[in-house]
Amino acid sequence: MSERFGDHARRLAGAASRLLGWPPHWFWRATPSEFAAIFETPDEQAPGMDRAQLNSLLEQERNG
């Protein structure tokens, strides 16, 4: 491969800015998995979250 990591990262940072409205620091703080997940199709078979699970997560965040 003739291109370096920096060339690809610069292109992806520009795409994140244009397509997602992300400022540069959001791109650089995101992991590759987080960035890729934005473009993945949701799994229709994945179970949803019920209200009890959401309340539990919210409670953990408040005390976190």
Q: Using alpha carbons, select from 28, 6, 4 the residue that is nearest to residue 16.
A: 28
**Sequential DSSP letters for 2-54:** -S-HHHHHHHHHHHIIIII---HHHHHHS-HHHHHHHHSPP-TTS----HHHH
pLDDT level of residue 6 (50, 70, 90 thresholds): confident
- Residue 30: the pLDDT is 93
Give residue-wise pLDDT tens across range 12-58. Answer: 999 999 999 999 999 999 998 888 888 888 776 777 888 999 998 88
Amino acid at 31: T
- Residue 60: the pLDDT is 86
Structure tokens at 22: 């992300």
Amino acid at 50: D
Amino acid at 64: G
